């Protein structure tokens, strides 16, 4: 199975996952000045259970992190649950509890 490549298609408001030339999934978002608001994620049914969703989430969030200017608000249940299972992305999550001492 070829590697999954995730690219941002800002003109469509979504990150797309491709295996070779085949579109296998996408994660739609809306932008604000401070946020990527992930609204919907979809994986082609023929590719479900093959790691596409996880690769898509990781690839999209890695690109958000690399940009370095926005946090993530996950309205999409898939992205929200994926982030909850991957605490190394908590710094991007607007809903994550702050870490460290609290007065």
Q: How confident is the model at residue 102, as a pLDDT?
A: 54
pLDDT of residue 100: 53
3-state DSSP call for residue 93? strand
Residue 5 reports pLDDT greater than 60: yes
Q: In 3D, which of 69, 73, 66 has the Cα closest to residue 94? A: 73
Task: With H, G, I as helix, E, B as strand and everything else as coil, classify residue 91.
Answer: helix
Q: Report d(CA 84, CA 100) in Å as an integer.
A: 18
Convert the pLDDT of each residue in 64-91 to its tens digit: 999 999 999 999 999 999 999 999 999 9
Q: How confident is the model at residue 101 (pLDDT cuts 50, 70, 90)?
A: low
Please tell me whether the overall predicted TM-score, pTM, comes out greater than 0.85 for this model.
yes
What are the residues whose beta carbons fall under 8 Å from the beta carbon of 79, sequence distance 6 or more? 27, 38, 41, 57, 60, 72
Check residue 1 and give its pLDDT.
47
């Amino acid at each position: 199975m070829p590697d999954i490549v995730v690219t941002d298609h800002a003109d469509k408001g979504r990150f797309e996952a491709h295996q070779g030339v085949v579109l296998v999934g996408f994660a739609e978002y809306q932008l604000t000045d401070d946020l990527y608001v992930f609204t919907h994620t979809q994986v082609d049914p023929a590719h479900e259970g093959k790691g596409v969703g996880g690769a898509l989430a990781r690839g999209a969030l890695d690109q958000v992190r690399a940009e370095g200017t926005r946090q993530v608000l996950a309205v999409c249940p898939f992205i929200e649950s994926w982030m909850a299972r991957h605490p190394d992305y908590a710094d991007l999550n607007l809903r994550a509890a702050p870490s460290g001492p609290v007065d």
